[in-house]
Structure 1
Amino acid sequence: TMEDLKIWRCNVNLRIMKSIESGNSKLRTVSTDNMALLRAALPIEAFQGLNSMSIAFDKKLEKLSEFEAVFRCCSSSLQQLCIFDCPLLKSVTGGLEHLTALKRL
């Protein structure tokens, strides 16, 4: 079972999982340079139970609200969120307010 996932410079057509039963995801850590591709590669249920997320060097990310469903899915488990060197990021509303377990930003 996959617990840690890093997606960097990947193919646009990447599909890691087609589906996963709710509550059965073992994924705990994700790291990516393209949030849109990460979201397309995984079913939303894969983000349940996620503890740590790192988004770095994403040249297209403009606002976290585009991925509000991801943040809602891991709202009670995500403890660490790291976002850096995302030059187009202008807004974090629509995402962070759902992260009730967040300890480190």
Structure 2
Amino acid sequence: KKSTPLKVYVNGHFENVTFPESFKVFGSEHSKVIFCEADEWKQFYQQNHSLITELEIEMDRRNSAIPLKDLTNTNARIEPGAFIREQAIIEDGAVVMMGA
């Protein structure tokens, strides 16, 4: 399934808001970080936009069918902006640059 994951930073008044189960939500009553799919965010935003005072959205891929690789145990230098897919093989000591 293709995916457009978002990271949403949002301030507002969320005391009585129920977030969809598919959202990963962190924060307090007035400030949240939300991880969700773009289409689900769009529906949520249309219903709750009046409660939001500030909004910042990060999207690093669109309609992606191949997930990104978990790089936590990779012994290589990965520069910011480099996108490495799940099946990629990164050798020890490699340097991966954005756009390479």
In the superposition, the TM-score normalised over structure 1's length comes to: 0.24
More strand by share: 2
Question: Which is greater in Rg?
Answer: 2
Bigger relative contact order (CA 8 A; separation at least 6)? 2
